[in-house]
Chain A
Amino acid sequence: MLILARRLNETIVIGDTIRVSVVDIKGDQIKLGIEAPSNVKVYRQEVYDAIQEENREAARSAATRPIGGALPSLKRGTKDDSET
């Protein structure tokens, strides 16, 4: 891992198109400003982790017992895109 020290208002550049700036520092919280093309996905690591963990939990929960009766009945919405 490349480790760079930066001060307030300093920036690093990644490739030709991505800039990450330190815009605010308060205690242990740092605000980063990220400029990137719209086709570059920027997410907090926690979001990935949360979705990954939710998937694992969902797979486990579907695995441990039959689901008959556990599922509530859905009132079908008006916009129905999932008929197979």
Chain B
Amino acid sequence: MNIDSKAYGPIEINERQVIDFRSGIFGFSDLHDYALLDAVQPGFYWLQSLDDPEIAFIMLNPYDLRPDYVLEIPDEDLASLEYDDPDDILVFAIVTIPEDEAQISANLQGPIVINRAAQLGRQSISLDPRWKTKHIILEELAEAGSR
């Protein structure tokens, strides 16, 4: 199928890449259909709204940033993704890119959780207070290097 994307303009995607966010994403509750795309930069992904081509989020795998990351969210949030096999669950953190690129951050407190088999997704809120909305990526990587 063909879609309009923020990153690449009009592109063709596989229907398996379409993810239904039934409750939307916080602040964007009226947008429900997204496509999961690879970004040019390895390790990064786009979550592209299919309803509004101008809305797209850059994401990364939180385990790449923090190998000690643990997905701790309410059971009912996970249950709402209707998964049978835990291996179908993908976890992402949304990335924010401010003017000062040294301050690029990832939101580990509001993880994006996707069941790739059922193509269902949601944003959850971490129950673990260690995870914040702004983890500065360069700082986390520097700390990981010194650990």
Contact = CB atoms under 8 A, between A and B. Distances in A.
A50 B6 contact: no
A40 to B, nearest CB: 9
A63 interface: yes
Interface of A: 38-39, 41, 43, 47-48, 50-59, 61-63, 67-68, 70-82, 84
Interface residues of B, number: 53
Nearest to B49: A59
Task: Classify the secondary structure of B's interface with A.
Answer: mixed
A67 B97 contact: yes
B63 A81 contact: yes
Contact of A59 (B17, B57, B74, B125): B57
Interface centre among A67, A70, A78, A79 (most CB of B within 10 A): A67
Contact of A77 (B57, B67, B74, B98): B67
A51 B29 CA distance: 13
Interface centre among A38, A54, A68 (most CB of B within 10 A): A54
A51 B57 contact: no
Contact of A51 (B26, B36, B74, B91): B26
B64 A41 contact: no
Interface centre among B39, B41, B42 (most CB of A within 10 A): B41
A68 B97 CA distance: 11
Contacts of A77: 61, 63-65, 67
Given A51-B107, A74-B42, A84-B38, 19 more contacts: A51-B110, A52-B26, A53-B27, A54-B110, A55-B94, A57-B96, A57-B98, A58-B94, A58-B97, A58-B107, A59-B28, A68-B41, A70-B104, A71-B41, A72-B138, A77-B61, A81-B89, A81-B90, A84-B45
